[in-house]
Amino acid sequence: PTSPQSRTTRSPVTDIGRIGAKVDKDLTMQKRSIHSYAWIRAWTPEAAEYVAPKAAAKGFNHVVIPMRDHATILPAEIDRIFSANNM
């Protein structure tokens, strides 16, 4: 058990997992990320067209892009696609 004093200094975000924790911070403004591999097996420029709308529809603000093959990382294309999906 924690002392009442230490409870008042804890962040609501870190308290989420505690049973009965009160969350008084608006979590709707939190940035949420998901890895692109949740939907695809390998990153390609075409995969961005598939992943971005799916992630946005689920409420994610960011998609983690694996940096394994640098030839498939096209920043301008990624920006265009993600911007079109308000990400």
* pLDDT number for residue 71: 87
User: Which portions of the chain are predicted below pLDDT 70?
Assistant: 1-29
C-alpha span between 53 and 75 (Å, rounded): 17
* pLDDT number for residue 19: 56
Please tell me the pTM assigned to this model.
0.58
The angle that helices 45-57 and 75-84 make with each other, rounded to 10 degrees, is: 30
* pLDDT number for residue 77: 92
* pLDDT number for residue 25: 54
